Amino acid sequence: MTIGFDNDKYLKIQSEHIRERIAKFDGKLYLELGGKLFDDHHASRVLPGFKPDSKLRMFGQLRDSLEIVIVISADDIEKNKVRADLGITYDEDVLRLRDEFMSRDFMVGSVVITHYDGQRAADAFRHRLERLGIKSYVHYLIDGYPHDVALIASDEGFGKNDFVETERPLVIVTAPGPGSGKMAVCLSQLYGENKRGVHAGYAKFETFPVWNLPLKHPVNIAYEAATADLNDVNMIDPFHMEAYGKVAINYNRDIEIFPVLNALFEGIYGENPYKSPTDMGVNMVGFCISDDEVCCQASKDEIIRRYYAATNKLADGADNENEVNKILMLFNQAKITTATRKTTVAAAKYKAETGHTSAAIELHDGTIITAKSSPLLGCCAALILNATKYLAGINHEVKLIPQSMIEPIQKTKTEFLGARNPRLHTDEVLVALSVLSENDENCRRALEQLPQLRDCQVHSTVMLSEVDRKIFKKLGCGLTCDPIKKK
């Protein structure tokens, strides 16, 4: 992979910047975490060189100074809200996140249940936490939040909430998903700390949009594509411009809420330490881009990938036409089309030539490998064989898996397991290769090339099965599919 981001520099200057922010207050900072603390694959795709666990590694340098508070909304518990990417409910994800953090030797202080109004499911979850020995607190619904500042910043507002007992200077406030009430928890804690004579601080840690990149930089446009379903819009921060005469990029929701936050800070402290929503952030990503051209190209690929993901959802019956249209608008801003993606063009061309569904992969040396479906193999199963043969220097005409082995597998699939499609999927091809590799040198060499497929781009002219999508994800490939279902 061509690197465009200096990850080591990021780990160093980001942790230093957070330490500086803590020092500006009474040695106590509540840091609202936006996005993912680990498995941040969007960042690693648009900033090649950014590691998916970079934030965790950075916080690892602050491990002895921080603790984590996990926030969950009582409404989400009551509704059994599910994380679409993991297929688990938010309350289960709270426990998963806690285990993940603790397995990395981070202190998880407690869980805060927000928007509490006597929900029975929330009470049951709190009892479960108690049985597990996990401290929990509740924060209540406040009438008029966030606009009735006089009520909110009073003993009848934030003062009604449980004060979350914390031990360390840096408190990271995170949640399973959006709308959990992280910001309100931070502000409530500031109110409680102030009542106790501590002038604690608040900051926001969100990677995108990158405040010190241009508004129409592909990295920032890719963020809009990633949040097209939420209709987030990148904007020049008018408060920052007014205060400093400098351009800084933020997004609509933070800019819209800033006057309210300003009033809340004044209600708690008598003044706001920040002059703009950008001031509240601590993100240093923009200072660590080492090759802008590489990041621009990666971001353009990501915008196209988001487009295909949205059109695939639409083909599956989702009501997301606005999301698709928003990304098409972003195509114009980034000056790209689907033809900008080389594998899209190659797969379409091969399909036109052969009359069969096809797939293409771009290897790290720029070589494009193609494959088509056949009576024996799906196009992506064939693509993996073709790509690994090329990387291993094996003649394309060599058949790694004999037909005599494929046919019994097909019989099992169709006659015994009831499958309608007899063609081998990617996972079945890899299992077959693994079995044959014990006695076949070519199969062994082909299998050894799989790590070289990481970060390669793949396109299919047909929507793939869940099995095939998962295999490409595990291989680390960037996959897109035409919004056409298999017949």
The CATH number of whichever domain residue 381 belongs to comes to 3.40.140.40
CATH number at 224 reads 3.10.630.10
Distance CA 425, CA 422 (A): 9
- According to DSSP, residue 463 is labeled P
Q: Which residue, among 363, 423, 362, 381, has the nearest Cα to 371 in the 3D structure?
A: 381
Distance CA 182, CA 201 (A): 14
Quick one: 131 and 267 in the same domain? Answer: yes
Report pLDDT for 222: 98
Judge whether 406 and 432 are in contact, CB under 8 Å: yes
Phi–psi pair at 462, nearest 5 degrees: -145, 150
Range(s) of the domain holding residue 11 = 7-287
- Please indicate, yes or no, if residue 300 is contained in any of the structural domains: no
Question: Is beta strand 108-116 parallel, antiparallel or unpaired with respect to 66-73?
Answer: parallel
- Please indicate, yes or no, if residue 323 is contained in any of the structural domains: no
Question: SS3 for 76?
Answer: helix
Question: Is residue 427 packed enough to be buried (19+ CB in 10 Å), middle (13-18) or exposed (0-12)?
Answer: middle
Quick one: 42 and 143 in the same domain? Answer: yes
Distance CA 308, CA 338 (A): 9
Q: How far is CA 259 from the centre of its chain?
A: 29
Render the burial of 293-323: b for 16+ CB within 10 Å, e for the rest: ebbbbbbbbbbbbbbbbbbbbeeeeeebeeb
Quick one: 360 and 253 in the same domain? Answer: no
Quick one: 352 and 232 in the same domain? Answer: no
- Please indicate, yes or no, if residue 192 is contained in any of the structural domains: yes
- Please indicate, yes or no, if residue 235 is contained in any of the structural domains: yes
Distance CA 444, CA 471 (A): 19
Quick one: 97 and 226 in the same domain? Answer: yes
Q: Output 141-149 pairs: Cβ under 8 A, ≥24 positions apart.
A: 141/115, 141/116, 141/117, 145/184, 146/184, 146/257, 146/260, 146/261, 146/264, 147/260, 149/260, 149/263, 149/264, 149/266, 149/267
Sign for the CA dihedral angle at 226, 244, 55, 293 comes to: positive
pTM: 0.90
Judge whether 90 and 83 are in contact, CB under 8 Å: yes
Quick one: 198 and 347 in the same domain? Answer: no
- Please indicate, yes or no, if residue 93 is contained in any of the structural domains: yes
Distance CA 471, CA 477 (A): 9
Quick one: 135 and 215 in the same domain? Answer: yes
Judge whether 456 and 362 are in contact, CB under 8 Å: yes
Quick one: 242 and 354 in the same domain? Answer: no
Question: Is residue 189 packed enough to be buried (19+ CB in 10 Å), middle (13-18) or exposed (0-12)?
Answer: buried
Quick one: 349 and 280 in the same domain? Answer: no
Question: SS3 for 66?
Answer: strand
> Which amino acid makes up residue 346?
A
Distance CA 145, CA 160 (A): 14
Report pLDDT for 179: 87
Quick one: 258 and 348 in the same domain? Answer: no
Please count the structural domains in the chain: 2
- Please indicate, yes or no, if residue 88 is contained in any of the structural domains: yes
The secondary element (H helix, E strand) that includes residue 481 is strand 478-481
Report pLDDT for 371: 98
Question: Is beta strand 249-251 parallel, antiparallel or unpaired with respect to 234-236?
Answer: antiparallel
Domain-terminating residue out of 287, 302, 320: 287
Quick one: 254 and 358 in the same domain? Answer: no
CA angle 289, 48, 372 (to 5 degrees): 150
Quick one: 249 and 359 in the same domain? Answer: no
Distance CA 230, CA 323 (A): 8
Residue-by-residue pLDDT tens, the chain, 487 positions: 789 999 999 999 999 999 999 999 989 999 999 877 877 889 999 999 999 889 999 999 999 999 999 999 999 999 999 987 778 999 999 999 999 999 999 999 999 999 999 999 999 999 999 999 999 999 999 998 888 989 999 999 999 999 999 999 999 999 998 889 999 999 999 999 999 999 999 999 999 999 999 999 999 999 999 999 988 899 999 999 999 999 999 999 899 999 989 998 998 888 999 999 999 999 999 999 999 999 999 999 999 999 999 999 999 999 999 999 999 999 999 999 999 999 999 999 999 999 999 999 999 999 999 999 999 999 999 999 999 999 999 999 999 999 999 999 999 988 888 888 889 999 999 999 999 999 999 999 999 999 999 999 999 999 999 999 999 999 999 999 999 998 6
Q: For tokens 């195509």, what's the residue? A: 331
- Please indicate, yes or no, if residue 305 is contained in any of the structural domains: no
- Total residue length of the chain: 487
Q: Which residue, among 66, 51, 165, 153, has the nearest Cα to 111 in the 3D structure?
A: 165
Q: How many CB atoms lie within 10 A of CB 102?
A: 12
Distance CA 387, CA 394 (A): 10
Judge whether 188 and 139 are in contact, CB under 8 Å: yes
Distance CA 289, CA 329 (A): 26
Report pLDDT for 39: 75
- Please indicate, yes or no, if residue 486 is contained in any of the structural domains: no
CA dihedral 300, 305, 311, 313 (to 10 degrees): -140
